[in-house]
Chain A
């Protein structure tokens, strides 16, 4: 039977080519949107590794020309001031690299015997408490670390898995900023945004006099009223003698950065939804027409002893085979993306996307083909053979 339908489809190729083309294009569009959707949703699922609730972030506009002593003094003053507020649970100094800021800093070298690239996140010994970071092993920075022989670093699990998959890393040395000692491994730290893949990352311990510590992250007690910000604003302005700094909620910033991905994703998906609906309706209309045009053929087949079911499945299969050919062609093209590494997205996202697209298009095509086919199968053969 399949062979017969294939023959039929092949002999009618000129009528089917348009539908094939349509399915081909639809497949590619859906494939593109699904790939990104799957990719981003999977990343979205993976944990951030830190807390954003009840957290404020301050970007200070620091004077570039202050010397380290003046900087140290001002920061100590800031720390005393902020920690004196009863609403504050913990605070940390950060560089301009703060969660969801869009800024990133990365170092790469091949001093460890292989090329290694890691994002850098400079911070202080309080950051574990401020951001509620869970460690997989080891410990967070301590005050004594400032005077240790080797500058300490904490890496994330991703760095360990990428570069030291089966070696113990705790207390071992590796070369980054000179020789560094790894004192801890953080489970996760996906700080760029919720839709960016976690990358190998290293926390650096920054002494207070360092000139890049221009941001402060503050963890508040739950349910701190908004008035606190005014108080904080005054305190900061008094100490820094400037007012052009921003206080923002980390949660709000997280939402805002995520929206930059959500909006195009949702827009893409709704456009796809519309396209599918459009194709489905169009396909239904065309099939309804073209199957009805073959009433006489259906009548003949019925007269020759085909059952209703056979007619329905023949016509459905005929449509599906054309669609399948279109999908197959498009899939061959789509597979090139992971094979040739055209876009830097892990390959399995592409394969899932191909699968999802195939499934969706098949469902739509079958849905659109079954109804007209069934209706056509119900034609009375005597009637169909005589109306000419």
Chain B
């Protein structure tokens, strides 16, 4: 039966080449775009190394010092926005007028106050966003460095090509050792094979390369860097600076996802309990611990509450995606309807010879799934090409979009949904046709 349907489907597609062509175009391009979006989503949100455990991460990257003084009447808003949506919504004048200063916490602050939390499997303090200019025979390399501790490598599961990460001993001794990306090794040493045990000049220190990793395909500054150095070799001011604000992040890996709210609230209450050294300047301090999704949202839009920000982004993207898919689906339904109505006579005959409505419905949905899959295959081939072009053109320099198994599985699922949805309505309509109407149908 299935083989019969399959043959028939192919024959039907061949009969009306114009319609088939239009349908295939619509299906394949829609699926192409969906697949590229899926690949993008997977690169940014999928649990890929080195962020496989992002689901259980609690991130501390913003410390806010506030001056709450109820009698003055002016507001200072200092807003740092690294995202593309640069709309600033800081026009609030609260009853309690305040002055705020937001930045990363300093290493010292984390070290003094935020160790030893309950429900935490592992945690790391690290300092991202150090950029160095490295001059090489009239060539300038911009090298992004992250100073990390040893647990960093257990939390972020980088793929090591050769060598190993630095460990607790290296940290204790402030050994000048480094892990670098294959990309930097190629640029700096010319040959990645030779990089291990070579020295690289960063700042005014020389580091020995002990490990090579693949560059992380993500925009997350927590892992997107060219070189990783022991945090104990960071400039003394950054390491020892007594100010609360500095340039460090903390990531806590929860024992399980259920512990995350507890960790968050413990972090918040610990920070609130820290005594302010200079209450005339700032008299209150708070942090907003975030999970990975919320962190991403806070990078994209300026929302005081990261959880709300994430919701907003999900809503906007969800709606956009829905509308985007709705249109080709409607188009396809419309065309399928025309196509199927053209076959009224065939249906009439089938029914007259005893096919019941259900069979006819299956047959048409099946046919539609076949054409969707053919379109899907074309779309997949196109997607591979387009992903290659996007990677090659360096439009998104931080990301390498891959067509991996997961994207493939998503694509199959998308194809199936698309096929069923766009086939069901026309098939249902046609399966309800009255035999007599169809067979005589000699009216205008």
Contact = CB atoms under 8 A, between A and B. Distances in A.
Q: Is there any pair of Cβ atoms, one from A and one from B, under 8 angstroms apart in the complex?
A: yes
A244 B93 contact: no
Contacts of A261: 84
Interface string A250-290: 00000000011101100000010011011101111110111
Contacts of A193: 86
A65 B131 contact: no
A243 B75 contact: no
B25 interface: yes
B343 to A, nearest CB: 12
A102 B328 contact: no
Interface in B314-347: 320, 323-324, 326-328, 330-335, 337-339, 341-342
A244 B235 contact: yes
A131 B110 CA distance: 40
B91 A271 contact: no
Nearest to B79: A104
A261 B86 CA distance: 10
A274 B31 CA distance: 12
Contact of B22 (A244, A282, A297, A388): A282
Interface in B124-167: 130-133, 135, 138, 140, 142, 145
Contacts of B78: 105-106
Contacts of A226: 138, 140
Interface stretch (A75-83, A109-117, A144-152, A165-173): A109-117
Contact of B243 (A65, A229, A278): A65
B135 A230 contact: yes
A115 B326 CA distance: 45
Interface stretch (A25-33, A47-55, A359-367): A25-33
A109 B73 contact: yes
Given A65-B237, A281-B22, A18 B444 contact: no
A290 B334 CA distance: 11
A285 B91 contact: no
Contacts of A288: 18
B410 interface: no
Nearest to A24: B330
B80 A344 contact: no
Contacts of A297: 444
Contacts of A286: 334-335, 337-338
A26 B82 CA distance: 32
Contact of B81 (A65, A103, A274, A283): A103
Contacts of B442: 388
A282 B26 contact: yes
B338 A285 contact: yes
Contacts of A19: 334
Contact of A230 (B140, B335, B341): B140
A274 B73 contact: no
Nearest to B205: A243
B433 to A, nearest CB: 14
B242 to A, nearest CB: 7
* Chain B: number of interface residues, binned into ranges: 35 or more
B395 interface: yes
B77 interface: yes
A140 to B, nearest CB: 25
B73 A25 contact: no
A271 B241 contact: no
A196 interface: yes
Contacts of A110: 73, 93
Interface string A76-109: 0000000000000000000000000011111111
A286 B336 CA distance: 9
A373 interface: no
Given A25-B330, A244-B203, A278 B77 contact: no
Given A18-B330, A286-B335, A111 B74 contact: yes
A270 to B, nearest CB: 9
Interface string B64-91: 0000000001111111111110111011
B133 A229 contact: yes
Contacts of A296: 444
A242 interface: yes
Residue among B140, B331, B337 with most chain A CB within 10 A = B331
Interface string B161-185: 0000000000000000000000000
A108 B77 contact: yes
B75 A109 contact: yes
A22 B133 contact: no
Nearest to A282: B331
B332 A282 contact: yes
Interface of A: 18-19, 21-22, 25-26, 28-29, 32, 61, 63-65, 102-111, 115, 117, 192-193, 196, 226-227, 229-230, 233, 237, 242-248, 259-261, 263-264, 271, 274-275, 277-279, 281-286, 288-290, 293-294, 296-297, 300, 344, 388
8 contacts: A63-B237, A102-B80, A105-B78, A107-B76, A108-B74, A226-B138, A244-B130, A300-B444
Ranked nearest first, the 5 interchain pairs of A and B with the lowest CB-CB distance are A243-B203, A109-B74, A282-B331, A260-B84, A246-B131
Given A108-B75, A110-B93, 17 more contacts: A19-B334, A22-B327, A25-B327, A65-B237, A65-B242, A102-B82, A106-B90, A226-B138, A243-B132, A244-B145, A246-B131, A246-B142, A260-B84, A275-B324, A275-B328, A279-B327, A290-B338
